[in-house]
Structure 1
Amino acid sequence: MKKYTVLLSLYVLCFSFSNAQKVNQADSTQLRNIYDMALLNGKSYDWLDYLSNEIGGRLSGSVQADRAVRYTEAELNELGLDKVWLQPVMVPKWTRGFKEYAYIETAPGRTSIVNICALGGSVATNATGLKAEIIEVQNFEDLERYGREKIEGKIVFYNRPMQANVIQTFEAYGGCVDQRYAGAMEAAKYGAVGIVVRSMNLRQDDFPHTGAMSYGDTPPEQRIPACAISTNDADFLSNALSIKPDLKFYFKQSCKTHEDVESFNVIGEITGSVYPDKYIVVGGHLDSWDLGDGSHDDGAGCVQSMEVLRILKKLNYKPKHSIRVVLFMNEENGLRGGRKYAEQAVLNKEKHIFALESDAGGFTPRGFSFDTDDANFAQIESWKPLFKPYLIHYFEKGGSGADIGPLKDGTIVLAGLRPDSQRYFDYHHAENDTFDAVNKRELELGGATMTSLIYLIDKYGIKNDMTDVKK
């Protein structure tokens, strides 16, 4: 009897191993089909070409943003999805106005022009511009150390660079972006009349990088104009100040904040065949800053997300869960689209089990980061061998994406595509974020990698779902 039991156990073990091999082979074959479809018959690069070159920068509330909504809605309808619709959302409207102008004055009549741009949400200078002495600081602690006596009536120059020896460039960005976002609010407390912020960029160049800033609860009459300066010119200004501390800085900008306007999230869905009331989301943000055409940030993420549903349709894959692509509006200066989508999901009592965002550029994909528990992360890590042939190795716990963050409810698994990030901040929020900076093959690899993860999540479900899909 004992011998029979041992033989039976060995048989069951061999059968289970054989079955697992078949499942792995099936998944491996499906991933190969996905990558083939993306690389040989991809659509993402053509979509991005139109978004970038025919529409351009898509700042929330702009005509270009509205054109992007109509274009992507039409393209999703062309895919033959089960549902395509627009979700209304009120968004802020800020316009840049005439091109900004700035110079350093070391003596009357002796000036050097520098490259600046207004920060998103900034107030304008007066019609003739602003000229004042300038004081260089590294952080908000420096403001406190100098105090009102040395700051009042001057322009504050924040010159803390991104830390070059931090390998994860988003971490380096996070280490200095506070000066851009809250710099004007903090400097105004000490009587500053304006701020200039070193661009968030690891490269030395002449492109100023814009980005969102906030005045907090600063009264409107106390709000001061804020601009970014290119990294080359930030170094030039710093060196000039070391020689002549009483030099003057002049800048002029005519930006303006308007009343909120209506815009839309663009949503397409393939309805699930087994769990139609459980949702998997993949998306990016359709809005961009206005200096370039937003190809990397985040046109790439939008077209890659659209590509996920296109590939699944082309492969005749019938998902078990409902899979949605969501092109969020207003990530750059308000996150209204992400919040609206999450709010409507709660009102509609929709159960979201997984969400994936691509918002780190169209560069070579390296893997994903996941905001989830240990059980789900262990399941996802077990799929790493399937991605190895495509050089996808980065599976780590961490952040996901700003737009899908509001969906977090303690059960949903959130993920972010993680491309190689070393060049991303060369283009982020600057006028060189244009279509020619995107490599077709890298973009398509990202779309295929996203599709592969969505396929596996749909097939195997998540661990904390009471109706977890049987393997």
Structure 2
Amino acid sequence: MKKAFLILFLSLSILGQAQSADAEQIDKLFKTALTEGKAYDWLNHLSNQIGGRLSGSVQAQQAVEYTKAQLDSLGLDRVWLQPVMVPKWVRGTPEFAYFETSPGLSTNVPVCALGGSVATPIGGLKAGLVEVTGLEDLKKMDPDKIKGKIVFFNRPMDPTLISTFDAYSGCVDQRYAGAAEAAKLGAVGVVVRSMNLRLDDYPHTGSMSYEDLPVSDRIPAAAISTNGAEILSTTLKLNPETKFYLRQNCKQFEDVESFNVIGEIKGSEFPNEVMVVGGHLDSWDLGDGSHDDGAGCVQSMDVLRLLKKTGYRPKRTIRVVLFMNEENGLRGGNKYAEVAQSKNERHIFALESDAGGFTPRGFSFDCSEANLERVQEWKKLFEPYLIHLFEKGYSGADIGPLKNNEMVLAGLRPDSQRYFDHHHAENDTFEHVNKRELELGAASMASLVYLFDKYGIIPGTKIKG
């Protein structure tokens, strides 16, 4: 009995010492990020000196060169560029649109081409409108009522859902697949309500697909601002004969070469166990991509700097990966996973930040139940920093291709209530990023990376589902 009690006492004492050491290291990471952080300065340059970084653009290449130079300056064990072929789509001159209730009586509305859309005819496109509330509503329509018309997809994000990402997921299919489905029914164009909970005058772009439609059958697709969608919908109810005019001259070119930017600290004990932290370096072209996803990139870069700055020597190899082409192809994420597999690299953990630079609330995890239980034990280490969300869920698009039956995938989860005010729009700019919130996110990520590096994953367990 005494022996059992002694073993229990020693076990609790060792556990308490470990928790105390972990709390001390995490405290260092947060204090260093909040007083000596570099993420905000890096983002300032990406946003204000380079700007929007659409895949295949000059700005995207400038971002590659800038971030590689910054990683080189950190004294990492290795920094390199990983080539990847990416699509090159160019918006062209600003789009223009109006609706016309009678000849000569028109109202201009804010629009932007969806990424990957074809252009309108040189003189623009004018046609009658058919309003639908989504893809299912469209499929119920009589094709004769669609033929020769512009389809207006006007399904709003659900304001009752607290998770704005759930609200986004509930209606983004109309943006992605709307043009393909409408074209099959003979429509000549589509206009899609912006994915935005707020009523404003900013149209929000985003990726779309024509599936396997031949180029000759593709129709122009544009997003309209939420205010524009509201007034257009009201006008159509009063006057179903309202016509819509759209002009855009975007163009798709041949694929071009770009790069994932990668830097690593080699593990001191288990160098063959690789841990990844990252975000996507490309952005849309309307704003400067500060929240989506400049924030995630600079936070990920700062994770490695914070670990070095606090004197922590990783046991495992930790890599920062700035993925190219998440927005309109996911080529960077797929290429990184492909190369890792070809080299038989063992990745045990990956963390992505691609939900904006807002106040961190916690993390979501795609992992086995055993690893999730381990993570829940760490939750109390984050509670002093008001980070409480530790749940099973989606991790991130770029790290998704790495998924296997053993590794842990995680996603930083900031407060999401303002994210879609800026997502893919002209107002995704540097002044909308709060320095302290950005730094708290970097410290949160560094803390989680530290814990997984120190303790590893629980092997031999498989992810359910």
Same fold (TM over 0.5): yes
2:368 — aligned with what?
373
**Residue in structure 2 matching 1:278, options 273, 280, 284:** 273
2:283 — aligned with what?
288
Q: Indicate the SS of the match to 1:382.
A: helix
Report % sequence identity.
67
- The ranges of structure 1 where at least 4 consecutive aligned residues each deviate by more than 6 angstroms after the TM superposition are none
Task: Name the CA distance, whole Å, in 1 between partners of 2:145 and 2:457.
Answer: 57
1:291-329 deviation line (CA, Å, top 9, x unaligned): 000000000000000000000111121111000000000
Q: CA deviation at 1:18?
A: 1.2
Q: Indicate the SS of the match to 1:87.
A: strand
Is the contact between residue 114 and residue 222 of structure 2 (CA under 8 Å) also seen in structure 1? yes
1:73 — aligned with what?
68
Say yes or no: does 1:26 pair with 2:29. Answer: no
Task: Name the CA distance, whole Å, in 1 between partners of 2:383 and 2:149.
Answer: 55
Is the contact between residue 162 and residue 200 of structure 1 (CA under 8 Å) also seen in structure 2? yes
1:218 — aligned with what?
213
**Structure 1 unaligned regions, length at least 5:** 1-5, 467-471
Task: Name the CA distance, whole Å, in 1 between partners of 2:404 and 2:137.
Answer: 39
Task: Give the partner amino acid of 2:307.
Answer: L
2:59 — aligned with what?
64
Task: Name the CA distance, whole Å, in 1 between partners of 2:372 and 2:141.
Answer: 48
Task: Name the CA distance, whole Å, in 2 between partners of 1:205 and 1:139.
Answer: 21
2:203 — aligned with what?
208
Say yes or no: does 1:357 pair with 2:360. Answer: no
Task: Name the CA distance, whole Å, in 2 between partners of 1:283 and 1:108.
Answer: 53
Task: Name the CA distance, whole Å, in 1 between partners of 2:7 and 2:99.
Answer: 79
1:310 — aligned with what?
305
2:179 — aligned with what?
184
**Residue in structure 2 matching 1:38, options 33, 49, 69:** 33
1:3 — aligned with what?
none
Q: Indicate the SS of the match to 1:455.
A: helix
Q: CA deviation at 1:143?
A: 2.0
Is the contact between residue 353 and residue 465 of structure 1 (CA under 8 Å) also seen in structure 2? no
TM-score by length of 2: 0.98
Task: Give the partner amino acid of 1:279.
Answer: V
Aligned alpha-carbon RMSD (Å): 0.8
**Residue in structure 1 matching 2:459, options 446, 457, 464:** 464
Task: Name the CA distance, whole Å, in 1 between partners of 2:221 and 2:281.
Answer: 25
Q: CA deviation at 1:147?
A: 2.0
1:469 — aligned with what?
none
Task: Name the CA distance, whole Å, in 2 between partners of 1:147 and 1:431.
Answer: 36
* Count of residue pairs the alignment pairs up: 461
The 5 Å alignment of 1:140-219 reads 140-219=135-214
Say yes or no: does 1:440 pair with 2:440. Answer: no
Is the contact between residue 376 and residue 462 of structure 1 (CA under 8 Å) also seen in structure 2? yes
**Structure 2 unaligned regions, length at least 5:** none
1:331-370 deviation line (CA, Å, top 9, x unaligned): 0000000000000000011000000000000000000000
Task: Name the CA distance, whole Å, in 1 between partners of 2:211 and 2:139.
Answer: 18
Q: CA deviation at 1:45?
A: 0.2
Q: CA deviation at 1:465?
A: 5.9
Task: Name the CA distance, whole Å, in 2 between partners of 1:14 and 1:183.
Answer: 63
Task: Name the CA distance, whole Å, in 2 between partners of 1:40 and 1:137.
Answer: 51
2:322 — aligned with what?
327
Q: Indicate the SS of the match to 1:368.
A: strand
Q: CA deviation at 1:141?
A: 2.5
Q: CA deviation at 1:223?
A: 0.1
Task: Name the CA distance, whole Å, in 1 between partners of 2:111 and 2:260.
Answer: 32
Say yes or no: does 1:409 pair with 2:398. Answer: no
Is the contact between residue 135 and residue 173 of structure 2 (CA under 8 Å) also seen in structure 1? no
2:264 — aligned with what?
269
1:52 — aligned with what?
47
